[in-house]
Structure 1
Amino acid sequence: MRTRLAIRIHSFLERRFPERRVFLKSDTDTRFIRLRSETQLIAVAGITLFVAWSIVATAIVLMDSIGSGNFRELAKRDQQTYRARLNAISDERDARAEEALAAQERFNAALAQISVMQSELLASETRRRELETGIEVIQTTLRDTMTQRDGAKKALAQLKQDTEGGASPQAAMASAEAQMDLLADVLADTATERDRILADAQGALQQRDELELELQLMNERNSQIFRQLEEAVAVSVTPLDKMFRSAGMPPDRILEQVRRGYNGQGGPLEPLAMSTRGEEPSPEALRANAILAKLDQLNLYRLAAQQAPFATPVNLGRVRQTSGFGYRRDPKTGGRRLHKGSDFAGSTGTDIFATADGVVTHAGWQSGYGKMVTIRHAFGIETRYAHNSKLRVTKGQRVSRGDHIADMGNTGRSTGTHLHYEVRVNGQPVNPMIYIKAARNVF
């Protein structure tokens, strides 16, 4: 049965691929190579497979090239979108800063107006006291005049008695006329002084009413300014407070630590003292002091934000995050191992920046990390930047947030060009993205 099947197959192949011979002739001999049907079939099949493989490989390469081009276009669009978002956030931050400056200027103008109003009120109080003193003088003069009047009445009564007793009528009349003239002059002067003081008093009362109305309008304007200032300060402080809480940094403890270590110019904002008499502060003074306390808190938040790693170590528009914090499969050994930071892949030489103010405690080679920079910050925080190709700082150097400290590379225990970024708090590694995500939409 097998022989018949083999014969049929061989006959079929003979019809399709007849046996061929290739002659090889030399000077002394002639030889030939026989190409059987099966050999020709194998050769044709091999060539067919090779051609098919070439076509498929070419198609795959073309598709990959087209796909990579689309990916680059998508990456460019994402980069442009991210840059636009960063520009919008920066513009919003600048607008908030301008609003805060404008509110502070309005606050200073309100304080100046309050000072002018206080001076006017003090002048009005002095004028009122002067008027009270003048009224007391008038009352004293009136009492003296009434006493003189009573004396004149007694003199007239005595004159009448003298006249009835036989005194000279001419002498009595002369004495009475002199006394009446004196009394009339005194009464006229008193009436004139009284009218003048009454006019001054009415003018002072009218001026007081105008000052009270102006003071009421000023209080309303000041209240509106205070509300705007309170809203502006609250809008500025709330995101910072949320940022620190999201990063697991208690704001009260952080601000107290910054306040103790503050050595900048000007110092913390001092509360206003509106009175030097030891009196209770006015409601305006209390509100102003509350705003100053918030501004002081905002200033302390700004100082604290500079000293904590809320910034990104690389320009996210030019790199991509390839690995996060946590346990993962080790690319070298294949075992499960804690990855103590975040990896950002990019091209060799990509700029790496300090994420907060601090002091460089290590700048050199370290086993496994390659060329590494270590920076010590406030609050017991330390950041590490590993696998660099070039270091831009030295040990002991003080750096600020955003300073260029190294270039991205592939040194040490690394499988490709990338930055290994670590954040350690009191020596223990924590997820760096906690700080970076907490600061989004803030800086």
Structure 2
Amino acid sequence: MPMHIAYRINAALERILPEQRLFLKSDRDTRFVRLRPATQAVAIAGGGVMLLWTVVATSILLLDFVNAGSARTQQQLRQARFEERLSALSMDRDRRADEAVRAQERFNLALAEVSKMQTRLLASEDRRRELETGIEVIQATLSRTIQERDSARTELAALQETDAQDVVTAAEQAQDTAETLAFLSTALNETAGERDLMEGAARDAVAKVDAVAAERDAILARNAEIFAQLEDAITVSMEPLDKMFAAAGLSPDSLLSSVRRGYSGQGGPLGPLSLSTSGAAPSPDEMRANALLDKLDEVNMYRIAAAKVPLVLPLKTSFRYTSGFGVRQDPKGWGRRMHEGVDMAGSYGSPVLATADGVVTYAGWENGYGRLVKIKHDFGIETRYGHLSQIRVDVGQRVSRGDKIGDMGNSGRSTGTHLHYEVRVNGAAKNPMTFIKAGTNVF
């Protein structure tokens, strides 16, 4: 800078920042360092920039930490509410299924009673027909008897002088005929009354059957509504899981097939629901319930698969990404190299967590990685955690998602404290952020 320009700048700043002198005294002489106004201004500006950068960086880290915590909390609350709703709908469906079974039993009982009443009614109708046939025979006999009686009366009038014993005998026959007619009339009236009672009982039975059928129809309608709600809830719960695995580049069908082959949890997969014990073909509700159980079994398979895939961050503490996946400039100055993981810088000794269920296959020192832990997961997936300060697991140990496996450090080929995190599928390195972002909307 030319001297006259420097002189003008110092003269302009002299009023605000007067020249300062820093004296340095030794045994032999005394020296001083002159701090001109421009030098003081540059120092103050540099200090202000550093302070402002520190405040902004700290604010960004705090905001990221708060936002990440609140997002996880809200997701956990939504998942808990969904599971509660699904459990309530399942319980309601079970109650409705029990009610449908009881209504079916009542309906079958009413049908049995109606069948019995119809049998009795048919027997009464047969008896009535037999009585009508007997009455017709009796009426024909009575008509013939009346004719004979009239003939006898005619003969009696003609033979008034015959023997009195013959007259008494004809009178007795007429009296017997009258008594027979009275008995038949009484029996016919009783039969007609019994028939009317049976018809009334049959009408009551039909009314009861109609009431039971209406109740059954209402229960079936309610069951259909519950089935629809359950189907919608299961569809809503499966969509983010499908998107999650698709975003991670994994085939949901292959994952489910693999989990189903190795499924060995308590109780096993959900079996089909059967409400019929007579060996008949399943009803539409039974088939729909079986389809729902198959979907619930598929959701369970999804959750088992999600626990075995590394879809979460390996750190719970504050950190920042310092290097991503892909080709980069080597931090040691060896040109451009492929970086097969992501680097997360944080505090020394921060806990490093397993990102999925698996088995530790390596726990020790490896060139470049320093202290390294390798975990083998299902579906041909492996995760690596490098540059650790301490290793907290042993080879062959089974770990679950969230288990502590080591501490963040600076071991191996590293320029500072950070975690080097890798995800490999069938031996090929994949971008870990693909898996982490895929699990953001689920975990």
Band the TM-score falls in, shorter-chain normalisation: 0.7 to 0.9
Q: Is the 8 A contact 1:362 1:395 kept in 2?
A: yes
Match of 2:43 in 1: 57
Whether the 8 Å contact between 1:388 and 1:409 is mirrored in structure 2 is yes
Deviations 1:269-298 (A, max 9, x none): 222223344444322223222221211111
Pairing of 1:39-188 with structure 2 (within 5 A)? 47=34, 52-53=38-39, 55-160=41-146, 162-163=148-149, 164=151, 168-188=169-189
The aligned counterpart of 1:336 is 336
Distance 2:102 2:342 in 1: 59
Aligned mates of 1:189, 1:385 — CA distance in 2: 98
Q: Note the C-alpha offset of 1:240.
A: 0.5
CA contact (8 A) 1:372 1:388 kept: yes
Letter of the aligned partner of 2:348 in structure 1? T
CA distance in 2, matches of 1:252, 1:197: 64
Contact 1:322/1:345 (<8 A) preserved = yes
* Residue aligning to 1:220: 221
Contact 1:381 1:424 in 2 (8 A): yes
Residue 361 of structure 2 corresponds to 361
3-state SS of 1:269 partner: coil
Distance in 1, matches of 2:52 and 2:119, equals 99
Contact 1:389 1:411 in 2 (8 A): yes
C-alpha contact (below 8 Å) 1:363/1:393 kept by paired residues: yes
Secondary structure of the corresponding residue to residue 362 of structure 1: strand
Q: SS of the counterpart of 2:359? A: strand
Q: 2:425 & 2:218 partners in 1: Cα distance?
A: 54
Which residues of structure 1 form unaligned runs of 5+? 1-42
- 1:229-248 to structure 2, matched below 5 A, reads 229-248=230-249
Secondary structure, aligned partner of 1:422? strand
Normalised by the size of structure 1, how large is the TM-score? 0.85
Structure-2 separation of matches of 1:184 and 1:289? 64
Structure 2, unaligned runs of 5 or more: 1-30, 156-165
Match of 1:349 in 2: 349
Deviations 1:123-176 (A, max 9, x none): 122122112211211122112212321331243144235433668332322321
Whether the 8 Å CA contact 1:328–1:338 is kept in 2: the answer is yes
Residue in 2 that maps onto 1:262: 263
Match of 1:32 in 2: none
Aligned length, in residue pairs? 398
Question: 1:354 touches 1:405 (CA, 8 Å); kept in 2?
Answer: yes
Asked if the contact 2:383–2:423 (Cα under 8 Å) also holds between the matched residues in 1, the reply is yes
Distance 2:257 2:118 in 1: 54
Q: Please say if residues 357 and 401 of structure 2, whose CA atoms lie closer than 8 Å, have aligned partners that are also in contact.
A: yes
Q: Hey, what's the Cα distance between the residues in 2 that align with 1:174 and 1:349?
A: 126
Q: Tell me which residue corresponds to 1:11.
A: none
1:265 Cα deviation from its structure 2 partner: 1.2
* Structure 1 residue 65: Cα displacement: 2.3
TM-score (norm 2): 0.85
Q: 1:290 — aligned with what?
A: 291
CA distance in 2, matches of 1:67, 1:250: 45
| Cα-Cα RMSD | 2.1
Residue 417 (structure 1) aligns with: 417
CA distance in 2, matches of 1:304, 1:247: 13
Residue type at the aligned position of 1:61: G
Structure 1 position 225, deviation (Å)? 1.3
Aligned to 1:23: none
Cα offsets for 1:230-258 (capped at 9, x unmatched): 11111111110111111111111111111
SS in 1 for 2:97: helix
Checking the alignment, whether the CA contact within 8 Å between 1:159 and 1:172 is kept in structure 2 is no
Q: What amino acid is aligned across from residue 261 of structure 1 in structure 2?
A: G
**Contact persistence 1:128–1:204 (CA under 8 A):** yes
Which whole-Å CA distance do the structure 2 matches of 1:440 and 1:205 have between them? Answer: 61
Contact 2:330 2:337 in 1 (8 A): yes
In structure 2, what is the Cα distance between the partners aligned to 1:89 and 1:276?
44
Q: Report the Cα distance in structure 2 between the residues aligned to 1:278 and 1:242, rounded to whole angstroms.
A: 41
| Residues 249-258 or 269-278, more deviating | 269-278
**In structure 1, what is the Cα distance between the partners aligned to 2:216 and 2:364?**
68
Q: 3-state SS of the aligned residue for 2:372?
A: strand
SS in 2 for 1:258: helix
The 4+ residue runs of structure 1 with deviation greater than 6 A are none
Q: Which residue of 2 aligns with 1:402?
A: 402
Deviates more, 1:272-281 or 1:158-167: 158-167
Aligned partners of 2:104, 2:321: CA distance in 1, in Å? 61
Q: Which amino acid aligns with 1:144?
A: E
2:366 aligned partner, one-letter code = Q
What's the CA shift for 1:421?
0.7
SS of the residue aligned with 2:69? helix
In the alignment, what sits opposite 2:159?
A: none
Paired residue secondary structure (2:275): coil
